[in-house]
Structure 1
Amino acid sequence: MSTLLEVSGVSVSFDGFKAINNLSFQIGKAELRAVIGPNGAGKTTFMDIITGKTKPDEGRVIWGDRSISLLGMSEAKIAQEGVCRKFQKPTVFEDQSVRDNLMMALKRGRSVWDVLKYRPGADNARLEQLADEIGLLSEFSRPSGELSHGQKQWLEIGMLLAQDPQLLLVDEPAAGMTPAEREHTTNLLVEAAKTRAVVVVEHDMEFIRRLNCKVTVLHEGSVLAEGSLDHVTSNQEVIDVYLGR
């Protein structure tokens, strides 16, 4: 499997506190990965560095076939390169329909020529396909504010998929969901990872088990263990710093 993202020897400190400490991590082009760890392990800062929100003090973040560095790029440029992030709280346009939310997110040419030749309705097939993928085709014309918490999460994932990212970072997607919603979210993320890299930061071990993917455990800003869920949860250090709490 070819590498899409390689984080190598990355460290960052805030007021003397080392939030990330010589962290190395890599993920392939079509791979699903779960990232776990106790509060303060560096999970959020790790995502902040990849997306350009935080610049590390040292280390490298190398991206894609061209092996370019993400560290000199703005957040907007990194997003254009194909890195998308979903935060824990869903952010959708609640007055707009499911269709219109997906339409606003859809990746298309932004030049004057693209705008001039655009035909209303040209994207309908793609929008319906996206709505079907995320399980919201029956809610296609419904205002997003009327959706359940879980459905809003799916819509936001759909809005990110509409941008055709190469890497999708998802923060605690199962939080606040019903069991049925969590099952659908699992299927959605597993399916998305067939064509792109998906990193899921999550505390819910049952949800991670259903993802059935490689797990990276962070502790004090470094990788403590990596492997299958059974492998990392049998690691005594992981038990001591995380699972035993």
Structure 2
Amino acid sequence: MSAPVTPTLLYLDNVSVSFDGFRALNSLSLAVDHAEMRAIIGPNGAGKTTMMDVITGKTRPNEGTALFEGSHDLTALDEAAIAELGIGRKFQTPTVFEMHSVEDNILLALKENRSPFATLLSRRTARERERIEALLERVRLTAHRHRKAGELSHGQKQWLEIGMLLAQQPKLLLIDEPAAGMTDQETADTADLLRDIAKTQAVVVVEHDMTFVRDLDVKVTCLHEGTVLAEGTLDAVSANERVVEVYLGR
């Protein structure tokens, strides 16, 4: 295996993506370290979703570099191969198996080479039970383990999907607007959960809720027209005149 090109976990350099003449990403450069949480903000059309599409292999850039763990060229891999490297993505709307229990949802997501049908019918190993227990506790759903996923609140479904993502043992989690539709308490609990995850894994959070972003207390990157407009603490980014003009609107 070749030596790492960069010590950062995720490294994007001069990445550009065009769709029918529209430049969704415009020489975007971004670096995320191991066990770092980064908040990505910006107006609609800023390139946030396209950036995540490039990282996960859904979209191929027209130019630029996208490296994972220094030596893996994400632009040369398909979505399945990128997921195997340890990149997990959670979309804004939670996707869970609503007719199955919370516990079974976690079981189905465990990183094992078995079919879902065989997984549900087989006996759980001691290792699987331990992992399920740990994941349920981590995402605050131990007391709800036997409930059908469809009975959970919106916020609890978000936590369950994060638990399912963690079951895949990712090194990098991409989380899209986790606070959308949550109660104030669920929002605060989600910030706590993501801060806990970021102690051991890298997390990139795309979010519009500035109160939630402040609760995360992490480095913020503001995108606009497919490139980085400002980067730093939330206070520093919020004070940037261009950010105020194009996004915050005050």
TM-score by length of 1: 0.94
* Displacement after TM superposition at 1:128 (Å): 1.1
The 8 Å contact of residues 7 and 69 in structure 2, kept in 1 or not, is answered as no
The match for 2:151 is: 146
Partner SS for 2:26: strand
Kindly report structure 1 stretches of 4+ aligned residues shifted beyond 3 Å.
none
Alignment of 1:170-189 (within 5 A): 170-189=175-194
1:68 is aligned with what amino acid? H
The match for 1:89 is: 93
Q: Distance in 1 between matches of 2:239 and 2:180?
A: 25
Alignment of 1:1-245 (within 5 A): 2-65=7-70, 67-109=71-113, 120-122=124-126, 123-244=128-249
Q: Distance in 1 between matches of 2:211 and 2:228?
A: 21
Partner SS for 1:38: coil
Q: Distance in 2 between matches of 1:205 and 1:72?
A: 35
Q: Distance in 1 between matches of 2:123 and 2:200?
A: 28
1:149 is aligned with what amino acid? H
1:12 is aligned with what amino acid? V
Q: Distance in 2 between matches of 1:84 and 1:61?
A: 16
1:188 is aligned with what amino acid? L
Partner SS for 1:3: coil
Q: Distance in 1 between matches of 2:178 and 2:170?
A: 18
Q: Distance in 1 between matches of 2:19 and 2:46?
A: 14
* Displacement after TM superposition at 1:110 (Å): 5.3
TM-score by length of 2: 0.92
CA-based RMSD: 1.6
* Displacement after TM superposition at 1:162 (Å): 0.6
* Displacement after TM superposition at 1:76 (Å): 0.6
- Segments of structure 2 that go 5 or more residues without pairing to the other structure are 1-5
Partner SS for 1:49: helix
- Segments of structure 1 that go 5 or more residues without pairing to the other structure are none
Aligned residues: 239
